[in-house]
Amino acid sequence: MGAGHAHALYVHGHSPVHAMAPEAKVAAALAFVACVALTPASVPWAFAGHAVVLAVVIRVARLKPGFVLARATVVLPFILFVFLLPFVASGERTQVLGMSVSAAGLIAARTILCKALIGVTLSVVLAATTETTAIMRGLNRLRVPAVFTTIATFMLRYLETLTGELGRMRIAMTSRGYDPRWLWQAKPIASSAGALFIRSYERGERVHAAMLARGFDGTMPSMDDRRASRREWALAALPALAAAVSILVASILAGL
Amino acid sequence: MHAPDGFLTAGTAVATGAISAGTIGLALSRTRDTLADKQVPLAGIAAAFIFAAQMFNFPVLAGTTGHLLGGALAAILLGPSLGAIVVTVVVVVQAFAFADGGLTALGYNTLNMAIITAFGGYALFVLLRKLFPANGAGVVAASGLAAGLSVVLSSLAFSLEWLFGATAPVPFDRVLGAMVGVHLLIGIGEAVITALAVGAVLSARPDLVFGARDLSRAQIDDRPKVAMRTFGVAAVLVVVVLATVVSQFAGGAPDGLERVAQDQGFSQSAVDHPLGSALFADYATSGVTNEKLSLAIAGVGGTLIVTLVLAGLFLAVRRRPDDAVPGEPASHVDSDSSG
């Protein structure tokens, strides 16, 4: 989780998923992932349905499946925890590969694994097909306070600058022989963090002064006023509907 | 700490989401005046700073590294309200634009990583500052300890959420022992980096440290060298005490491997099926010997977190009269750059 944050996942493209208005896309993602999160543990086959829905979306978005899967690995640390679950959970025990594991823990591990993997894949698809500023515009149109999304937009705008600065500091420290192995060698890192804060803050002041000089009145002008059409909202409802259907079908099959 | 989708139950996700949204709404309305025009770019760049600071990997033990969470650091530098908003922005953007942390997990991720670390950390900071002398060294020491403890507080909060919203029948005390144990280690790193970073800002631009607004320049410059050693000793003492408490507590339950062996021996004995229980499943008691202690810790921990977060919120809301005092430097985000 430590590295690679600064590079957004966006992949340039002209697919229907890329072209969809951001508010509809964000709403579609939230509705779909809510369905996934609400899928009961007792109907594991529903997750196969969700995966098919995602695969269709990835196909329509013309994303490379390998790229999506590679980026989905940010969830790995938690998957390690999930693999421990069958061993540490309580309850009835069953035999798997000659080891005694908790049956309930096994079911829980399977469920968390499916939900986490589908959730992170969906997040990657959303981030890969929507520019970060567009995501913020979408959230804003979904009634997230403008102050919040504007702060986030500024953050994204200056992230590259600050991480570049951080990278230069690191190179400077490394080239002077700094190679920390122990906690008590951490002082130069902390001093750099302090220096980075002061530089960031002063940059913020300069940016603000420059913006005021150019007539900034507290709200950012929007360059894209296109709102989601009725058709786009209908399309956006499809993944969540498909997920709901797959839960229903899996429940009926499990009931039979 | 970025939990994925489906990690806790839907009820917990909704409940923590409501708490997080409400708190951030309060913080936004608190900072509305300052954020109206001037501070929005500044807050954005501060958020970028926290985002970048999370990339500072520091050595924990030989070979392994941890990274800064930054909630307490943001609250001490920017004030609790703005600090909480800034870290929340970071967590939300990480979920939406970087696929880090589940979208349905945003409620508890925001609560644990932004709100509890910022407000709880700031309350601890104010509390600890009363214990230390009113000078630069006191601010640095309080920053470090508060930051370290804020990480532990965050892991405690996660364990409590597990108690109410577990998706797997893992007993509360085992989750608590593992979470708090690991985060004590991470907390040491957080403490050292935060203390040193606040110290660095304090020596270059003391007007930028919200938590030291009440001090004059002379008081801030009063930083005897011995204070760092005192800080080190105090930090080690706190960690040892906490580690002792946690190990006592976690030691009561058999660990994973012992558990397996034990259960193999007693596989005939009937055990309640844990997935059959209701929303507030009593996982604290499932298959655990020391259930009273477990529940007591859960209760005390919950009370502690709520008290600290409320104290932080109170401190954030109370600022208004202070700002009006003439001659007093107002919140540093209000003041013009004096550097």
HEC profile for A146-205? HHHHHHHHHHHHHHHHHHHHHHHHHHHHHHCCCCCCCHHHCHHHHHHHHHHHHHHHHHHH
pLDDT higher than 90, residue B85:
yes
Contact list, A166 vs chain B (CB under 8 Å): 52, 55-56
Task: Kindly indicate the confidence band of residue B260, based on its pLDDT and cuts at 50, 70 and 90.
Answer: very low
Q: What is the pLDDT of residues A129-183, one digit of tens each?
A: 998 888 988 998 898 888 888 889 888 888 888 888 888 888 888 898 887 766 6
Contact B92, B49 (CB under 8 A): no
pLDDT higher than 50, residue A203:
yes
Q: What is the pLDDT of residues B54-83, one digit of tens each?
A: 876 666 554 455 677 889 999 999 889 999
% of chain B with per-residue pLDDT over 90: 19
B101: left (phi over 0), alpha (psi -120 to 50) or beta: left
pLDDT higher than 50, residue B264:
no
What tokens appear for B242 in the block?
């906490």
| Window 213-272 of B, Cβ < 8 Å to A | 256-257, 259-260, 263-264, 267, 271
| Window 102-161 of A, Cβ < 8 Å to B | 102, 104-105, 107-109, 111-112, 114-116, 118-120, 122-124, 126-127, 132, 135, 139, 145, 147-148, 150-159, 161
pLDDT higher than 60, residue B227:
no
Contact list, B194 vs chain A (CB under 8 Å): 190
Q: Higher confidence at residue B315 or residue A203?
A: A203
Contact list, A118 vs chain B (CB under 8 Å): 5
pLDDT higher than 90, residue B236:
no
Q: What is the pLDDT of residues A112-132, one digit of tens each?
A: 889 989 999 999 999 999 988
pTM of the predicted model, to two decimals? Answer: 0.81
pLDDT at A182 (0 to 100): 67
Strand extents, DSSP E, B39-169: 57-61, 64-67
pLDDT at B86 (0 to 100): 93
Q: How far is CA B220 from CA B204, B216, B223, in A?
A: 11, 6, 7
pLDDT at B204 (0 to 100): 85
Please give the residue of chain B at the shortest CA–CA distance from A151: B44
Q: Which of B93, B106, B174 to mutate to test the interface with A (most CBs of A within 10 A)?
A: B93
Q: Do B171 and A78 count as a contact with CB atoms less than 8 A apart?
A: no
What tokens appear for B150 in the block?
């804020």
Q: Give ipTM to 2 decimals.
A: 0.88
3-state secondary structure A196-212: HHHHHHHHHHHHHHHHH
In angstroms, the separation between the Cα of residue A74 and the nearest Cα of chain B is 6
Average pLDDT of chain B is 73
Q: Higher confidence at residue A221 or residue B101?
A: B101
pLDDT at B319 (0 to 100): 52
Q: What is the pLDDT of residues B96-149, one digit of tens each?
A: 888 888 899 999 999 999 999 999 999 999 999 988 888 888 898 899 989 999
Could you give the CA distance from residue B190 to residue B168 in angstroms, rounded to a whole number?
A: 30
In angstroms, the separation between the Cα of residue B13 and the nearest Cα of chain A is 10
Q: Do B97 and A135 count as a contact with CB atoms less than 8 A apart?
A: yes
Q: Do B2 and A157 count as a contact with CB atoms less than 8 A apart?
A: no
In angstroms, the separation between the Cα of residue A32 and the nearest Cα of chain B is 10
% of chain B with per-residue pLDDT over 70: 66
Contact B166, B177 (CB under 8 A): no
Q: What is the pLDDT of residues A1-31, one digit of tens each?
A: 333 444 567 888 888 889 899 999 999 999 9
Q: Higher confidence at residue B46 or residue A180?
A: B46
Interface check for A88 against chain B (CB to CB < 8 A): the answer is yes
pLDDT higher than 60, residue B285:
no
